[in-house]
Amino acid sequence: MGTFLTWSLEKWIMKTYNVNVPYLKVFKGKEQAYTNMHGKWEDSFMKMDAFREELLNWNQGSIVEIDFDVVGGKKRFKSLDACHLKGKFNGVLVVTTSVDANNFIFSIAYYVFESENTQSWTWFLGSPQKEIRTPSGLVISLDMQKRLELAIMHVYPNVEHRECIRSLNSNFKKHFHGKFFSNKLWRAVKIYLPTKHDRLLKDVGDLSQDDITYLNTNHKKVWSRSKFRITSKCDYVTNNISESFNSWIGVLRYQPVLDLLDAIREKLMKIFDKKRMLVNKWNGTLVPIVKNHVNDISKNLGEYEVCRSCDNKAEVKCKGQRWEVYLNERKSNCQRNSKKHMLFKFLRCLEWMNGCKKMGRKYIHLLSNARLDGPKK
């Protein structure tokens, strides 16, 4: 029933029963139906303290905070997004989502507050920060919202701030039209080599310098893979994981706040239990997506030519491209390789070059403790 607007209900009654019911009566009838189904909306807020105590009693280690009229409920890539509630008192549901080692969506925290403002965003970001703190390689991806940007700079000033490319592209198309600009922009986003990224933007600038000026002025956050720090092994360029969460909760947004939060808790509980049962069926130290990725990138090693510089350093050439690889540091001068998409091949090449017949245990440990790139988002 929450999806029906009052005026549409008024039209439906007239069409179905040929009765002209005044708008105000339809509105009051709709509100009474809500009350009969979910109870009084005001009571939902009055029960929040009891709800918090129950959660803490039965889910030890959880973080549940209540501040004035708002209520709130570990991966290094965090995506932030918000969606508006549709009930009697409206409000905003905000969520922090991430991905686990097998590229499954992992919900970190969800909150409800009255409106999107700097104070609310600061409180929202500060609560989970008490638990996860600021680990090395932490990345926060967000849509460009001024109030959210100010809050992030206050709570997480030193982490990598990425901008969702879909949001950027949507704003970009409002000012500059044509497939040429859009295609060049998307290619610049996905490319790993800084030189190729700069060349693509130069092609855009040669046709219209206003495009580059607009990007430099209005989109100063990191939005291209060539600019990502190599400390994070996640190369997502969109906020799709947060959008997926918003779609997942669906019509729950029409429920009173207590019913909403409890329904989300129940859905998350079921998802976590499903994941535990799935994990219990896995064998070995690597998660399935990493196993498949390792098997895939281990093929065609003969295409790579290794030119030694020393036991730790070499040049690796393949199909007209060349990279420097540092074995002990597990690094490459290619942004993509530094994110381990092809670094595993280089490590294998160097090991064979040094007389190894199979991959050493330390590299198995490296791969089992680092999330390799999964499907591109």
The mean pLDDT of 7-15, rounded to a whole number, is 85
pLDDT of res. 356: 41
The mean pLDDT of 146-161, rounded to a whole number, is 86
The mean pLDDT of 336-347, rounded to a whole number, is 50
For residues 78 and 108, give the distance between their C-alpha atoms in angstroms, rounded to a whole number: 8
Task: Report whether 304 contacts 318 (CB < 8 A).
Answer: yes
pLDDT of res. 189: 92
The mean pLDDT of 248-271, rounded to a whole number, is 86
230 or 277: which carries more pLDDT confidence? Answer: 277
The mean pLDDT of 128-142, rounded to a whole number, is 81
> What are the Cα distances from residue 334, in Å, to 227, 326, 331, 340?
11, 11, 9, 10
What DSSP element (H or E) covers 306? Answer: strand 305-308
Task: Tell me which amino acid residue 228 is.
Answer: F
pLDDT band at 81 (very low <50, low <70, confident <90, very high): low
Q: How do residues 273-330 score in pLDDT, each as one tens digit?
A: 998 999 898 888 778 887 887 777 777 777 778 888 887 888 888 888 887 888 777 6
For residues 354 and 356, give the distance between their C-alpha atoms in angstroms, rounded to a whole number: 6
Task: Report whether 105 contacts 71 (CB < 8 A).
Answer: no
Quick check: helix, strand or coil at residue 194?
helix
Q: What distance lies between CA 327 and its chain's CA centroid?
A: 31
| Tokens 């002990």 belong to residue | 328
Is residue 44's pLDDT more than 80? no
Is the pTM above the cut of 0.75? no
- The CA-based dihedral angle spanning residues 12, 14, 17, 18, taken in that order and rounded to the nearest 10 degrees: -160
* Overall size of the chain counted in residues: 377
Can you count the helices (H) and strands (E) in the chain? 16, 11
pLDDT band at 40 (very low <50, low <70, confident <90, very high): confident
pLDDT of res. 335: 59
